[in-house]
Amino acid sequence: MPFVRKEGRLALQQAGQDIDILTLAQSESHPCYIYDGDDVLNRLKALKSSFDRPVSIHYAMKANHHPEILRRIAAAGYGVDTVSMGEVKKAMKCGFSADQVVLSGVGKTVAEIDFAIENQIKQINVESVPELQRIIHRSQALGKVASVAFRMNPDVDPKTHPYTSTGFRDNKFGMDQSFLPQLIRLVQDSQGAVRFMGLTNHIGSQIRYTDAFEEATEKTRRMLDHVLESGIPLSTFDIGGGLGIDYDQYDPNKDLAEIGDYGLKMSQALKGVDLEIMTEPGRVIVGRCGILVTEVQYVKETPYKNFLICDSGMHDLIRPALYRAHHRVEPLQLKSGETKIYDVVGPICESADVLGYDRRFEGVEQGDWLAVFDAGAYGAVMASSYNLHEPAKEIVFFDGKAY
């Protein structure tokens, strides 16, 4: 269990000891991301065992690419999902072998495709006809075979934020099934330049409505059956990532039940599919495992609104500003005193620079430290240099030791 209260103070419990977060934050005296690495590995295990069949997990490193987290995930034998040459290079530097790397993304450049082909990565997930043409052309030029899967767009409503929906027919991601004959013809005419591995989909992120995964899997599976019936052998079916977490509250048992339910539903939807099943989870693995800690610089009370002005904000964690995403915000040390409602804001010159709207705090004062919860996914990786504040440091704990 990542972060717990011990006599009113937030602590990380690892290796039989309590790591006091306030002590750690005060010693750093700067905003920090603090990650529970052990929980990352526990959640990967939980996801793997939630399926009733073998499944190849390719962790979506875009969610959090702290090098020690990547090293541990690689050492535990999982694969990785990447979306740029930068991510492929970092993954391989951190111990993933090329045959554990999947490359997704709509805008792959020639340099990225060349790098993937030269290194013979496991699979390139193709997002358009011109991309497949480019891959074939580059494979022929390099004299090496590229392994490709087609990312299909199943036209499913994942009922998540529109900015994180990727499986609607009017999204830029994936391909409509009507392109399949053309794609297959290109493979067949490529004279062995590409190896057709299978189909994939990824319908979005922070998906809480899990029926959407079933619908997407069923629709993509029908496309897959169609390809197999035409006598083309395939080896993989990649069901993407996207499983969300409940940002409003945290109950570890409920989390595990939700992961279990997802695995069960997907296992049922995949019954009879005799291929390697791949997944690309990010948020559900690392989201819970991180907090962002920040110090209250000023308690600013006005006749209209009260603010806790902190030294961290949208430059470290953009999710609230970008999606109006909700993160629980609590003091590192609980206090008693007058209770008031505040907006928790940062130092950035934008009114969107908010970490939490209308939050209730008791006895809060200048110099107090706050934790922004569930900041392990799409936090530090989406940080910006806007206003040139020093970025939040990232500290990960494994087995009670900081990295």
Ligand X SMILES: Cc1ncc(COP(=O)(O)O)c(C=O)c1O
Binding footprint of ligand X on the chain (CB under 6 A): 60, 62-63, 81, 104, 202, 205, 240-243, 280-284, 377
Query: How far apart (Å, rounded) are the C-alpha atoms in residues 167 and 201?
Result: 8
Smallest separation (angstroms) from ligand X to the CB of 28: 27
Smallest separation (angstroms) from ligand X to the CB of 336: 38
Q: Which is nearer to ligand X, 193 or 203 (CB)?
A: 203
Smallest separation (angstroms) from ligand X to the CB of 193: 24
Q: Is 351 exposed, middle or buried (0-12, 13-18, 19+ CB in 10 A)?
A: exposed
Q: Is 182 exposed, middle or buried (0-12, 13-18, 19+ CB in 10 A)?
A: exposed
Angle, alpha carbons 282-273-202 (nearest 5°):
30
Smallest separation (angstroms) from ligand X to the CB of 121: 14
365-397 residues labelled b (16+ CB within 10 A) or e (exposed): eeebbbbbbbbbbbbbbbbeeeeebebbebbbb
Spatial contact of 206 and 160, defined as CB atoms under 8 Å apart? yes
Instruction: Look up residue 333 and give its DSSP letter.
Output: B
Q: Which is nearer to ligand X, 208 or 340 (CB)?
A: 208
- Tokens 């279990």: give the residue: 260
CA 128 to chain centre: 23
Query: How far apart (Å, rounded) are the C-alpha atoms in residues 358 and 146?
Result: 52
Task: Name the residue with the smallest CB distance to ligand X.
Answer: 282
Spatial contact of 88 and 103, defined as CB atoms under 8 Å apart? yes
Smallest separation (angstroms) from ligand X to the CB of 93: 21
Active-site residue flag, 349:
yes
Q: Which is nearer to ligand X, 280 or 343 (CB)?
A: 280
Smallest separation (angstroms) from ligand X to the CB of 91: 14
Query: Among residues 32, 94, 289, 349, which one is catalytic?
Result: 349
3-state SS, residue 129: helix
Handedness of CA 265, 269, 273, 278 (dihedral sign): negative
Query: How far apart (Å, rounded) are the C-alpha atoms in residues 249 and 357?
Result: 16
Smallest separation (angstroms) from ligand X to the CB of 155: 17
Smallest separation (angstroms) from ligand X to the CB of 178: 21
Q: Which is nearer to ligand X, 94 or 377 (CB)?
A: 377
Q: Which is nearer to ligand X, 33 or 342 (CB)?
A: 33
Enumerate the β-bridge partners of residue 20.
11
- Please count the other Cβ atoms lying within 10 Å of the Cβ belonging to residue 3: 22
Spatial contact of 129 and 156, defined as CB atoms under 8 Å apart? no
Half-sphere exposure of 202 (CA within 13 A, CB side): 29
Residues 169, 173, 178, 179: what is their CA dihedral angle, to the nearest 10 degrees? 160
Catalytic residues: 349
